[in-house]
Amino acid sequence: MEVIVLPTAADVDVRAADLVAEQVVHRPDTVLGVATGSSPLGTYRELARRQTEGSLDLSKLLCFALDEYVGLPASDPAAYAEVLGREVAGPFGLPPSRVRVPDGSRRDLEQACRDYEEAIGAAGGIDLQLLGIGANGHIGFNEPTSSLSSRTRVKALSARTRADNARFFDDPADVPSHCVTQGLGTILEARQVLLVAQGKRKAAAVAAAVEGPVAAMCPASVLQLHRSVTVVMDEAAAGDLA
Ligand code: F6R
């Protein structure tokens, strides 16, 4: 695991964009795993800026989301399908069909999970998975106690995650109780992983993920078992490292 600590959150955005760009230049049709939430937004904006200025071509990417809420229509502004349309597909110049998101509104969610795993497999697997980290150590929506070898499945969101994500909804009561998320085993199959973390609020989770034991209580710690992980964080997020 390579750990990079930079002075500010803006520096994290630029370094993470450099790492994604390096992969995309090497392979323009990279299969990119995309996270939602606030952590990767600066990286997406920096990548989009490079595309607009003509120094990077993102138009051949195929993207797979990590997760989606259960029960929100795909057109809801808080649904990850909608967020990724806004933050990734549009700015990167990708047709919506090149940004795949688990279907959290299907009647048969188990089948939706199987279909999603199959779609990732049919694309040849994820080349580079971008991740944020929850304050409780989750990646994707693999909450503490998730099985370290889990696959895409329906999970209940923890009270802490629902409270943390209430900011994306008009009313905290609107935060869904469940999600469909890639499993930890699914995430571990990505050929490279890039985790970004900013701010003091993430410091304890980052320290547990990077320096703690590999344990289901901090799902991100499973990344210690992956052979190609880069963690890029600002000084605030690095505050609890030894
Ligand atoms: C989102 C996701 C989550 C977030 C995490 C951090 O697709 O998978 O693991 O990365 O909850 O969220 P932010 O970045 O909003 O602090």
Domain boundaries, given as residue ranges, for the chain: 2-234
Q: Which residue's alpha carbon is at the smallest distance from atom 15 of ligand 1?
A: 37
Report CA torsion sign: 100, 31, 38, 217: positive
On whether ipTM exceeds 0.90, the answer is yes
**C-alpha of residue 37 to centroid of ligand 1, in Å:** 4
**C-alpha of residue 139 to centroid of ligand 1, in Å:** 7
Instruction: Confirm or reject: Cβ of 37 under 6 Å from ligand 1.
Output: yes
Q: Which residue's alpha carbon is at the smallest distance from atom 10 of ligand 1?
A: 132
* CA-wise closest residue to 33 among 122, 101, 82: 101
Instruction: Confirm or reject: Cβ of 35 under 6 Å from ligand 1.
Output: yes
Q: Which fold has domain 2-234?
A: Rossmann fold (3.40.50)
Q: In angstroms, rounded to a whole number, what is the distance separating the alpha carbons of residues 132 and 238?
A: 14
Instruction: Confirm or reject: Cβ of 239 under 6 Å from ligand 1.
Output: no
The catalytic residue positions are 67, 136, 138, 143
Give the mutation target among 67, 126, 138 for probing the ligand 1 site: most ligand atoms within 8 A of CB.
138
**C-alpha of residue 164 to centroid of ligand 1, in Å:** 9
Other residues' Cβ atoms within 10 Å of the Cβ of residue 129: 29
130 and 43 Cβ atoms separated by less than 8 Å? yes
Instruction: Confirm or reject: Cβ of 36 under 6 Å from ligand 1.
Output: yes
Q: Which residue's alpha carbon is at the smallest distance from atom 1 of ligand 1?
A: 36
**C-alpha of residue 103 to centroid of ligand 1, in Å:** 18
pLDDT tens-place values along the chain, 242 residues long: 999 999 999 999 999 999 999 999 999 999 999 999 999 999 999 999 999 999 999 999 999 999 999 999 888 999 999 999 999 999 999 999 999 999 999 999 999 999 999 999 999 999 999 999 999 999 999 999 999 999 999 999 999 999 999 999 999 999 999 999 999 999 999 999 999 999 999 999 999 999 999 999 999 999 999 999 999 999 999 999 99
Q: In angstroms, rounded to a whole number, what is the distance separating the alpha carbons of residues 74 and 51?
A: 26
Using DSSP's 3-state secondary structure scheme, residue 162 falls into: helix
What are the φ/ψ torsions at residue 95 (nearest 5 degrees)?
A: -65, 150
